[in-house]
Structure formats: structure tokens, C-alpha cells
Structure 1
Amino acid sequence: MKRQKRDKLSRAHAKGYQAGISGRSKDICPHTDLNSDTRSQWLGGWREAMEDRSQGVKQFL
């Protein structure tokens, strides 16, 4: 039986969140296409992490 991968958009969001919560710049986004859904999801995760950091959420990695 094959293992199913998580869908690309949720994975991009999670990776963006991880980058943001660890304080990395949004410029490191691996998705270069400016109009791609995966880039939007990655940046959305990054923004969410920045909000969490500003509200004092601790990093649990």
C-alpha cells in the first residue's frame, strides 16, 4: 500500500509557518512563481506565524 502525501497547499502552509515561527525572512520562500497558489499558502503560513510570534506564542520545534 502506498503512503499518501499531504496535499501540496497544506504542506506549503505548514512549511511557511515553520519558517516564520523560527524568525526566518519571507524572502526565503522556495516558490518563485508570484501568482502560484503554493506561494500564497506559504506566505499565509509565514504571516500567521509572525502574528503568533508577536502575541508571544513559543516555538515548539
Structure 2
Amino acid sequence: MKRQKRDKLSRAHSKGYQAGVIGRARENCPYQDTEIRSQWLGGWRAAQEDRSSGLIR
């Protein structure tokens, strides 16, 4: 059975979260499209919030 790819927006959000977890700067967002970029930044912000609240070290 083939696995379906996740949609681009949720993938961008999870990639942004991963970037935020490892401490990358938000200027390193690889997307130019505003909708996809905003999803990446949303994931990045969520990771920063989790880091500041102590959920991630």
C-alpha cells in the first residue's frame, strides 16, 4: 500500500517546528510563497514557545 504525501502546508509547519527546535533563525525560512512561509513561521514560533516554556531543551 502506498503512503500518501502530506499536504504542503502541514509539511511546511512541521519543518518550521523542527528548525525552531534545533535553534535556527527564522530568517532561514526556505519558502517564498507567503501562505507556505506563514505556515513554516507558525511552526517555528510554536517551537520557540515550547523551548521557552521548558518542553524542549
> TM-score over 0.5 for the alignment?
yes
After the TM superposition, which residues 36-47 of structure 1 pair with which residues of structure 2 at under 5 Å, given as runs? 36-47=34-45
CA shift for structure 1 position 2: 4.3
Q: What CA distance in whole angstroms lies between the structure 2 residues aligned with 1:52 and 1:3?
A: 30
Q: What CA distance in whole angstroms lies between the structure 1 residues aligned with 2:50 and 2:2?
A: 36
Q: What CA distance in whole angstroms lies between the structure 1 residues aligned with 2:16 and 2:42?
A: 7
Structure 1 runs of 4+ off > 6 angstroms?
Answer: none
Over the matched positions of the two proteins, sequence identity in percent amounts to: 68
Q: Secondary structure at the match of 2:12?
A: helix
CA shift for structure 1 position 57: 1.2
- What stretches of structure 1 of length at least 5 have no aligned partner? none
Q: What CA distance in whole angstroms lies between the structure 1 residues aligned with 2:54 and 2:36?
A: 27
Q: What CA distance in whole angstroms lies between the structure 2 residues aligned with 1:55 and 1:38?
A: 26
Q: Name the TM-score, length of structure 2 as normaliser.
A: 0.88
RMSD: 1.3
Q: Which has the higher helix share?
A: 2
Match of 1:14 in 2: 14
